[in-house]
Amino acid sequence: MTAGDIEQMAPFSSRGPTDDGRIKPDVVAPGTWILSTASDLYQEGYGDPVNPQTNTYQYDGWGMPYNQQYKYMGGTSMANPIAAGGAAVIRDFYQKAHSVSASAALVKATLINSAVDLLDENNDGIDDNDYPIPNVHEGWGRIDLAAATGGNHQFVDNTTGLATGNSVSYQFAVGTAGAPFKATLVWSDYPSTESAAKNLVNDLDILVTAPNGTQYRGNVFSGGWTQTGGSADRVNNVENVYVQSAATGTWTVQVSGYNVPNGPQPFALVAGGNLGTAPTPTPTNTPGPTNTPAPTSTPTATNTPSPAVAIHVQQINMTVVQEGGPWYHADAAVTIVDSGGQPVNGATVNGTFSGDSSGAASGVTNANGLVTLSSARAKNGQSWTFCVDNVSRGSDVYDAGANGETCDSTGGSSPTATPQPTNTPTPGPTPTTGPGVVMRIGDLDGSAASGSRNRWDATVLITVHDANESPVANATVDGSWSGGANGGGSCVTNGAGQCSVGKANLKGNATDVTFTVNNVTLAGSSYNAGANHDPDGDSNGTSITVLQP
């Protein structure tokens, strides 16, 4: 008996991806017609499963017996033990060949880096590689223990880890041109939560630079090989760069901490190809990760912290959400910007809810600088206050004194903070601050960003002018959402007369949302809604519709 085509996936094998889009499975292992140990009793306890008429073994409902002790079986009960046993063999290999107690991340990286791309991954009976790696059928391929333990790869098992904004680089020497160069980065991520829309917590990035300066990002694949360009992966804790035909010379692999709210984050790196001895490093790692390279690899480690910037809370928008029946919770949409008013991506916001329910909450901002935090639910709850306790991102400085507001309540007032300009004024007309100013909307601009699990975020940038088209600072803009969203939104203009409102975590069936300005207020000034306008024509000056990305 045979397993048929070794290049073919079983039709009943589980497929990916996960709900948040991660590549799954990571790897696959043989799981059909596997000869396994079995009980010497028939499944119902009647003894040896031999057909008394033919005196031969026959299918007994659980598999095809080979004899009284072995049976051909299939499924995850066969594939999982093979993969687990293979992982144990790889860990034993590192211990005996390199005296290294390999981390789980290093074992996983080795399995992935040495895996083989199946040719009939979609089970159509043709070895045509319709879906090259990575794909939802096989992930990164079928495990290959001979390749994994062949001693032809170099590795780093970094147990010290990286923080946000830090990086470390390793150099690998390719001695013969034409063969693939494969670099695999894996880290055992910090635990996520059941309610998280995206499960990745600590986000690392891999960047590979060829001898000629060409750069490759992780998981940018086409036809089974890495392509130039693309964007950094923000979903997976496995990142690969597979260059099909590598040139001779020094290849540099940089691992960086893009967003590590629960760090530092250890990681493992495995490189495969026609690798020789790496050049002698020039140590610049002060301080930096401790690395354990293979005997044939001498990596160069460098820490490159990002320039520190001042960040602060631009605004907080509170809404009450009914969960069903008498149960409610509060959402606090917090926008973080830098001193120039630009949204800050990847900032961790920590805060505290009080009122009808209380407790701490934290989250990480998206590309629009927006994060929505939720309170615990309360029966018939309507009254909550949320206060930001801290904002952090790598070496950036949290300037609480520049906050537009530090606390907000579901009633819309800020109990401990007086609205103030949130941004450094941009060059242009001197802002008007009142009194006696007649205000109007001078521009509305909408933007959208994709999230995970078919969710998305909408942001509206509002510009307030006076009758002379000069920006108005310190004006409070109040409005409401409609269409695919509901609730209110408010913000306070900065020195450029601008502020923004956002709506996060919108459902995929909401094709668009509309924000309407209901009022603009400033002590001693008035609002002339009839004079609202939009010079670029994407709104009527009072309402703007934001389309799903």
Q: For the segment 456-508, what is each residue's pLDDT rounded down to a tens digit? A: 788 899 999 998 888 998 889 999 989 888 888 888 888 788 888 888 878 77
CATH number at residue 499: 2.60.40
- Domain boundary residue, one of 306, 334, 356: 306
Among 22-26, 53-57, 123-127, top mean pLDDT goes to: 22-26
> Could you tell me the pLDDT band of residue 297, with boundaries at 50, 70 and 90?
very low
Other beta carbons less than 10 A from residue 547's beta carbon: 11
Of 183, 178, 184, 152, give the one whose Cα is nearest residue 276. 152
Instruction: Note whether residue 65 is domain-resident.
Output: no
The larger pLDDT score, comparing residue 254 to residue 422, is at: 254
What is the per-residue pLDDT for 307?
54
Residues 407 and 447 in one domain: no
Considering the entire predicted model, what is its pTM? 0.51
Q: Per mean pLDDT, which range of 9-18, 142-151, 326-335, 428-437 is the poorest?
A: 428-437
Among 20-34, 253-267, 400-414, 422-436, top mean pLDDT goes to: 253-267
Position 412 pLDDT exceeds 60: no
Tell me what the mean pLDDT of segment 97-117 comes to. 94
Task: Look at the block and give the residue holding tokens 């990847």.
Answer: 346
Using DSSP, how many helices (H) and how many strands (E) does the chain show? 3, 32
Residues in Cβ contact with 111 at an 8 Å cutoff, skipping those fewer than 6 apart? 26, 27, 83, 86, 87, 90, 143, 148
CA dist 340 and 314 (Å) reads 11
Position 282 pLDDT exceeds 90: no
What is the per-residue pLDDT for 76?
77
Instruction: Note whether residue 45 is domain-resident.
Output: no
The larger pLDDT score, comparing residue 270 to residue 367, is at: 270
Tell me what the mean pLDDT of segment 421-440 comes to. 57
Q: Which domain does 84 fall in, by range?
A: 1-33+74-306
* Structure token digits, residue 378: 């309360």
Of 362, 402, 352, 359, give the one whose Cα is nearest residue 259. 362
* Residue environment code for 51-75, b if the CB has 16+ CB neighbours within 10 A, otherwise e: eeeeeebeeeeebbbeebeebbbbe
Instruction: Note whether residue 538 is domain-resident.
Output: yes
Instruction: Note whether residue 408 is domain-resident.
Output: yes
Residues 262 and 251 in one domain: yes
Instruction: Note whether residue 293 is domain-resident.
Output: yes
- Domain boundary residue, one of 306, 334, 365: 306
Residues 500 and 488 in one domain: yes
Tell me what the mean pLDDT of segment 75-96 comes to. 88
Please report the DSSP string for 163-195 in residue order.
Answer: -TT-EEEEEEEE-STTS-EEEEEE--PPP--TT
Tell me what the mean pLDDT of segment 175-181 comes to. 89
Q: Provide the number of structural domains found in the chain.
A: 3
